[in-house]
Chain A
Amino acid sequence: MTTKLFGEPVRRREDARLITGQGRFLDDLGANALAAAFVRSPHAHARIRDVDVSAALDVEGLVAIYTWEDLPGLIAEPLPLLIPHPALTHGRTGHALARDVVRHVGEPVVMVVAADRYVAEDACALIEVDYELLKPVVGVEEAAEAVNLVHADVPGNIGAHLVQEVHSAAGTSAREAIEAAPHTLAFRLDIERSASMPLEGRGVYARWDADDESLRVYSSTQTSTSVRMAVAAKLGLALPKVEVIAPDVGGGFGVKIVHPWPEEILVPWAARLLGREVKWTEDRREHFISSAHERAQVHHVRVGFDDDGRVLGLDVNILHDHGAYTPYGIIVPIITSTQLVGPYKIGAYRVEFTSIYTNTVQVTPYRGAGRPQGVFCMERTMDRIAAHLGRDRTEVRAANFIQPGEFPYDQGMTFQDGRPLIYDSGDYPESLRMLKELIGWDSFPATKAEAAAEGRTIGIGVGCYVEGTGVGPYEGGHVQITSDGRVHVSTGLTSQGQGHETVFAQIAATELGVPIERVSVVTGDTRRFGYAVGTFASRAAVMSGNAIALACRKVRDKALKVAADALEADPRDLEITDGVVHVAGAPSASIPLATVAVLSNPLRYAFDQEAQRATQFAGPSSDDRPPVEDGEEPGMEGRDYYSPIRSTFASGMHAAIVETDPLTAEIKILRYVVVHDCGKLINPMIVEGQIHGGVGQGVGGALYEKMAYDEHGQLLNASFMDFLMPYATEVPRIETAHLETPSPLNPLGVKGAGEAGVIPVSAVVAAAIEDAEGITIDRMPISPSDLYSLRTDTRLRKIQ
């Protein structure tokens, strides 16, 4: 095959439009649409006594004002709980517009539709909502004390409680194993809230076609197919009358997988009711206070280990703050619980979490989705064990690694997809070897001593993770070769900057033997592909990549069959090169794919010259066979699905060297090194980009980003001025190396790569700071002032 593009750093096909300002993001659409804006709750917890809209009615350009009372049927019902779980005994979701009680600052109360956004906001400002204040519940530990309740009918503020227990091979429980272990440690670890924070917020734009009685919705979503089903169900429309399209999306990172957002229901509903196009574009403050956050968890760890640092028993108790509602279930603490064990063989493991309501923005997955917390627990534990035993930190890790010969390795738990947690492949000792070499682990003590001699404080840290990627249930791909020889690929899942148009085109071009220029790819458009799950959990390349490869193989088989008939050859002797089917070794006996496509569709009407070749009188056809053979379909197209038995498990290890300022406690990352294994690489340039971006977000989570809620439930830093996302000056240069252990689970041998970069960063940076300072780091993020007060505390403790 001359057109082998799989594995090459092919330049992105998305870029041409994005660098010229021709991208089509949500707010770039619907130039003539009415604008929606929302009155949102200024209180964390309150009862709505009255909504007075009278002052707003005179605003010129006002079209409509809606409160909960105006909502019909299912639209007035609570929003769906997307991922139910038996342990989520008290799942609660909000309403599209608040009914009676608001439970976080930012909850939508009134929707205004007006000529433009300025006018809509004018009207919002004139609407008076009378609130009776209720006691806000803020902070996960305060909430667990249940002095006040977020939902009157949820006792203890407890939404869910789950214990998972994996006994040792000898049948001992984790607690027994810890009791019996030669060494035990117990400590607490904290991670604060952060958020996906894509540069483009959410947005919805809807057009109702009254003549056709159909609805077209554009949403900045990670799942257009599921938004479509949700909108059809809520609005009581027949599914074929609703289409949902994810246009260019300016980043997602998890937050846009949640659906249907209130606005995704309300905007289409208003568009239909008003017979006008309606659009809502989220502003930044709205994104902070009315979308979703993640990360905040408190972990209590107990561990028992032997003299080599092998973990005999591990017992982790997690308090998870899921905010005011649980639309996405308890996926985040489930992932923390199951992925915490990383690349290690833990003797016996017990993990318990309690998922708690607070009067804050709801919590749903953000890139990494519970893994950064789990890895923080496990890796801090490894470091504590090493410190306790006076051993090298990498040695302790190596003593616990699952070995390359032990795959598939069953961790004995149920993963987030409801399937057994069985790792498919990996080579952890080799990853660690590569990492140590890259960062210069063994020579670091000398470097550190040299630095110390110059009065500088530096430290090194390491962190390992395993990431379940490519979770099911399925994705599909559709491939069509048209009579002009062009290849049209579509898949239902969506893109937010990952370069899917490029990697899927690489796959199709490679599978079909056509030049990549002839391949076009569409994602996230239900008009092209209606069955899909969505983009999350580093699943796109694995799921849609394989589905597209399988669909291409179907089309290829069909093309070879049609070509074999035309060339009077055996299909097994045929190859496709540069879009031409030919007999292997005899390039003259050939037929272009374009012609094959023409021949595959018997025609009555010749609308152009190519078409003539497929009409009834054009060529030899057998009188005793139907023009379309039994079991065949006209046209050169194929559709297939990929549905794996379980997830594939990517892995990686990061290391960092940090310097801390002796005076100001400023923390600087001097070097950051990544060894990454996501199986076969489809496009190394794009995978690198994913890692860079992930590490960048990880650095934000480690050193800068947190959601500062006060005791009233007000988010004090709801702007880019105060919520500190890293600029170029904050992200270190990232050095990467790849290891490729193919997944045996799928035809392409790939694993997911989207989230990996972010996962171990807090653990690694904490370890490096701890190494530099000799002060225990047990909560992240850490700011210079945090470090400064830690130093002071430590000094005081020493004096006492």
Chain B
Amino acid sequence: MSETTGAHRAHAVTLTVNGVLHQVTVPARRLLSDCLRHDLGLTGTHVGCEHGVCGACTVLLDGEPIRSCLTFAVTVDGHEITTVEGLAEGGALSPVQRAFTECHGLQCGFCTPGFLCTVTAFLRDNRTPTDEEVLEAVSGNLCRCTGYQNIIKAVHRAAEIQAEESG
């Protein structure tokens, strides 16, 4: 893309995604979700609404969950991003990933990357959550398939696995 003006002007952005350093040149209006999916080919991050409500596009920015569809790629220059592709460490599924499959916490799997990222950050900060806290933690993500019951079960199970493995 050639250098033009305004929103179309290309900017060089450096970002670390799942521990890998990337340099991309994107127009100012490029959404982080599009940058991850289309510029970096990390299509695990999904876009369900592109207006910040469904949470499917949730990724971790310096460890904190954000909506990548509401974030311009240029604004994360120099930051670290974790996407669903980066949750498994050294090929081993994370406790959250394992719990979701164990508890049948996904059906079509479209919302799942957003839930996994959200829950990963949540359980890092709160290792022994109450029922209320779990409900609260996932209440910003939409799922049209599961009715949430097994997602909630999966979060509790993930906390359990996490405790078992660190204990």
Contact = CB atoms under 8 A, between A and B. Distances in A.
Given A199-B143, A284-B50, A719-B51, A19 B108 contact: no
Contact of A11 (B2, B53, B101, B116): B101
B49 A31 contact: no
B48 A199 contact: yes
Interface string B24-46: 00010110000001100111111
Contact of B139 (A249, A695, A728): A728
A182 B104 CA distance: 52
B144 A197 contact: yes
Contact of A20 (B2, B4, B37, B44): B44
Contact of A21 (B44, B139, B146): B44
Contact of A728 (B30, B37, B106, B138): B138
B83 A694 contact: no
Contact of A727 (B30, B142, B150): B142
Given A198-B144, A497-B108, A727-B142, A21 B37 contact: no
Contacts of B146: 689, 692-693, 696
Contacts of B48: 199-200, 250, 284, 720
B7 to A, nearest CB: 9
B139 A19 contact: no
Given A198-B108, A284-B49, A12 B143 contact: no
A499 B108 CA distance: 8
Contacts of A693: 107, 144-147
Contact of A118 (B27, B113, B141): B27
Interface string B51-90: 1011010000000000000000000000000011101100
B102 interface: yes
Contact of B144 (A15, A498, A691, A697): A697
B84 A21 contact: yes
Contacts of A283: 50
Interface string A719-736: 111000111110101100
Contacts of B145: 199, 251, 497, 689, 693
B51 A720 contact: yes
A199 B111 contact: yes
Nearest to B30: A118
Contacts of B101: 11-12, 15-16, 19
Given A720-B51, A728-B139, A689 B144 contact: no
A541 to B, nearest CB: 14
Q: How large is the interface on A (under 10, 10 to 19, 20 to 34, 35 or more residues)?
A: 35 or more
A583 to B, nearest CB: 39
Contacts of A248: 108-109
B110 A12 contact: no
A18 interface: yes
Nearest to B87: A20
A161 B164 CA distance: 64
Main secondary structure of the interface of A (DSSP, over half): loop
A577 interface: no
Interface string A1-39: 000000000011011101111111101100100000000
Sort chain B's interface into a size bin.
35 or more
B109 A250 contact: yes
Contacts of B37: 27-28
Contacts of B41: 31
A60 B3 CA distance: 12
A27 B43 contact: yes
Contacts of B53: 719-721
Given A18-B106, A28-B43, A199-B48, A728 B111 contact: no
B152 A23 contact: no
A727 B136 CA distance: 10
Given A20-B97, A497-B108, A734 B147 contact: yes
Contacts of A239: none
Contacts of B15: none
A224 interface: no
A686 interface: yes
B54 A199 contact: yes
Interface string A200-236: 1000000000000000000000000000000000000
A670 interface: no
Contacts of B88: 20
B108 A692 contact: no
A425 interface: no
Contacts of A726: 148
B106 A251 contact: no
Listed residue (B30, B88, B101, B151) with the most chain A CB atoms within 10 angstroms of its CB: B101
B140 interface: yes
A642 interface: no
Interface in B99-137: 100-102, 104, 106-113, 116, 135-136
A373 interface: no
B39 to A, nearest CB: 10
A685 interface: yes
A496 interface: yes
Given A200-B110, A693-B146, A21 B54 contact: no
A686 B48 CA distance: 24
B93 interface: yes
Given A25-B46, A251-B145, A727 B140 contact: yes
Contact of B44 (A23, A249, A250, A757): A23
A734 B106 contact: no
Nearest to B97: A19
A405 B43 CA distance: 55
B130 to A, nearest CB: 14
Contacts of A729: 135-136, 139
B159 interface: no
Contact of B150 (A16, A60, A692, A719): A692
Interface in A119-163: none
A200 B47 CA distance: 8
A529 interface: no
B119 to A, nearest CB: 11
A559 B143 CA distance: 44
B149 interface: yes
Q: Counting chain B CB atoms within 10 Å of each CB, which of A200, A249, A689, A728 scores highest?
A: A728
Nearest to A22: B44
Given A20-B44, A25-B46, A692-B146, A497 B51 contact: no
Nearest to A18: B109
Contacts of B135: 728-729
A200 B107 contact: no
Contacts of A253: 144
Contact of B108 (A22, A249, A688): A249
B144 A727 contact: no
Central interface residue in B4, B43, B84, B93, by most chain A CB within 10 Å: B43
B97 A720 contact: no
B147 A696 contact: yes
A250 B110 contact: yes
Contacts of B29: 118
Interface of B: 2, 4, 27, 29-30, 37-38, 41-51, 53-54, 56, 83-85, 87-88, 93, 97, 100-102, 104, 106-113, 116, 135-136, 138-152
14 contacts: A20-B88, A20-B93, A23-B110, A25-B43, A27-B47, A197-B144, A198-B110, A199-B48, A199-B111, A689-B107, A693-B147, A697-B144, A720-B54, A727-B148
User: Which 5 pairs show the lowest CB-CB distances between chains A and B?
Assistant: A21-B44, A497-B108, A250-B110, A18-B109, A696-B147
Given A199-B48, A727-B148, 9 more contacts: A15-B109, A19-B97, A21-B43, A199-B144, A199-B145, A497-B108, A497-B109, A497-B110, A727-B140
